[in-house]
Structure 1
Amino acid sequence: MTRPPTAAQRRVIDAADPVTGRLKGTEAQLTALVKRGLAFRHPRPPHDHFLTPEGHRVRQGVEQIHEPAGQAPATAGVFAARVGGEEEAPDTGPSRVREVHSAWQGLLELRRMTNPDGATDRPCGWERAHLVQAAALTLEAAGHRPAGRDSGGYRVRATPQPEAVAVHEADPGALRACAATLEQAGWQVGEHTEPRTRDRYLLASPRRA
């Protein structure tokens, strides 16, 4: 949960290049958008700023305002892919589908802009810095069902291993489908067995080349 962008920041977001997501604004505005997770600074000169997947979502008008009962709108939810196991039941309605699609398109554009060769078929630096959210977005965008608190579906979790996440899914067929989706999106995936429970799970890492 975070405050919605200010009017000035919103104008910067709305004025972003419709294809690349390139931003123009004051240094203070761009820095504030980076801190909110709505923009990133390109690592190579001239170090321009571009929208992140969350920024693309806000720009396309699918930000979701959370209004506590009896209070005026005060906060806005920054997009977060469903990692599975959230307290509330997974939202599968049209608005959620639009949010996920927008975030996925933003992520593909982020890959194109930040991978040295402009490749969109493998993860970028942002994904390696946000492994759980990136893997979950990949799965949710492909139509896989995240687990509810007490229901089946995928669950993406961090691991002690560098640049690796674990994907759990009780249904063996669904687990294999998750593996295929991640591999198609540029992740290296291996299937493993948890020694104590004997449950099968995936270990996935972003492919670099």
Structure 2
Amino acid sequence: MALSPTAAQRRVIDAADPSTGRLRGTEAQLAGLVKRGLAFRHPRPPHDHFLTPAGHRIRDADAEPDPPPGPVPAAARPDTGGGVFAARVGGEEDVPDGAGPARLREVRGAWQGLLELRRMTRPDGSTELPCTWERTHLVRAAALALEAAGHRPAGPAGDDGYRVRATPQPDAVAVHQPDAAALRECAATLERAGWQAGEHTEPRTRTRYLLASPRKV
């Protein structure tokens, strides 16, 4: 769990770039934020510092007006799950602020981080093909590619967006989306993200779905 910042560190957080979360401050201030889990140092030159999702939440909380007196409903409480990002696979029961600005920043930051991981782990520095992490976390990786591209994850009913699920095949996931046009858009997004995706028909229900796997070449 992230530690609370000092007053000086909070001023650095409040002054972060509103779109990228880029930070400016003394080395001691930035190092302190990293230690508290509120910032990270980019591994490539010029090694700038950026807010983590936990840091973004602190800044967003400071920008919100004071709540009215009385107990806060559970649905209105912020997600304080330790700042660990998880892509939406669709069908989640409890998704606070599912499409709010804080979530959009988290998704965008996670996708950029994944592209950087691709670049750093390939000899040619290419970002076109999925990396080892994606191949060992297929469901989360495919869901991140879809969510980062603006596709809507399904709610608990499962009929208003995409759902990414594991399959018996060790190198493939199934993507379900009740709208045929949206399903084709999901396929196009995954292909642009370095996956190969094809439409299939479920034998019993005749429902169309995608079978997607990371490209190797």
Q: CA deviation at 1:129?
A: 1.0
Runs of 4 or more off by more than 4 Å in structure 1?
5-9, 12-15
Which residue identity does 1:205 align to in structure 2? S
In the TM superposition, 1:31-46 aligns within 5 A as none
1:121 lines up with 2:128 in the alignment = yes
Summarize deviations over 1:110-154 as a string: whole Å, max 9, x none.
000012321101100010111111000000000000000024100
What is the SS of the residue equivalent to 1:177? helix
Partner of 1:139: 146
Q: Following the alignment from structure 1 to structure 2, what is the Cα–Cα distance between the partners of residues 20 and 81?
A: 28
**2:106 aligns to what?**
99
2:10 counterpart of 1:10:
no
Assess if the C-alpha contact under 8 Å between 1:132 and 1:158 holds in 2. Answer: yes
Structure 1's 202 and 79: CA in aligned 2 closer, same or farther, altered over 3 A? Answer: same
- Structure 1 distance, partners of 2:177, 2:147, is 13
Query: Please, which moves more after superposition, 5-14 or 182-191?
Result: 5-14
> In 2, are the aligned partners of 1:20 and 1:109 still within 8 Å (CA)?
no
For 1:196 and 1:183, locate their aligned partners in 2 and report how far apart those are by CA, in whole Å: 27
Task: Decide whether aligned partners of structure 1 residues 167 and 124 sit closer, same or farther in structure 2, where only a CA change above 3 A counts.
Answer: same
Taking the aligned partners of 2:208 and 2:110, their CA distance within structure 1 comes to 29
Write the distance in 2 (CA, Å) between the matches of 1:10 and 1:140: 27
Give the match for residue 13 of structure 2: none
Distance 2:55 2:106 in 1: 9
Given that residues 117 and 131 in structure 2 are in contact (C-alpha distance below 8 angstroms), is that contact kept between their aligned partners in structure 1? Answer: yes
Q: What CA distance in whole angstroms lies between the structure 2 residues aligned with 1:62 and 1:191?
A: 38
Q: State whether residues 199 and 211 of structure 2, in contact with CA within 8 Å, keep that contact through their aligned partners in structure 1.
A: yes
RMSD between aligned alpha carbons? 3.2
- Provide the C-alpha distance between the structure 2 equivalents of 1:165 and 1:17, rounded to a whole number of angstroms: 31
SS class of match (1:76)? coil
Distance 1:74 1:95 in 2: 13
Asked whether the equivalents of residues 20 and 113 of structure 1 are also in contact (C-alpha less than 8 Å), the reply is no
SS of residue in 2 equivalent to 1:202: strand
| 2:155 equivalent among 138, 141, 148 | 148
- The match for 1:178 is 186
Deviation per CA, 1:163-202, whole angstroms, max 9, x where unpaired?
Answer: 1100000000000000000001100111100111110000
Query: What number of residue pairs does the alignment pair up?
Result: 171
**Aligned residue identity for 2:44:** V
SS at match of 2:52: helix
CA-CA distance at 1:15 after TM superposition:
5.9
| SS of corresponding position for 2:56 | coil
What is the deviation of 1:20? 6.8
**Deviation string for 1:81-125 (max 9, x for gaps)?**
100000025711111111100001001000000123211011000
Q: Which has the larger radius of gyration?
A: 2
TM-score, with structure 2 as normaliser: 0.68
What do the CA deviations read for 1:19-64 (whole angstroms, capped 9, x no partner)? 3798xxxxxxxxxxxxxxxxxxxxxxxxxxxxxxxxx872783368
Residue 82 in 1 paired to residue 88 in 2?
Answer: yes
The answer on 1:196 being equivalent to 2:208 is no
Q: Is the 8 Å Cα contact of residues 179 and 202 (structure 1) preserved in structure 2?
A: yes
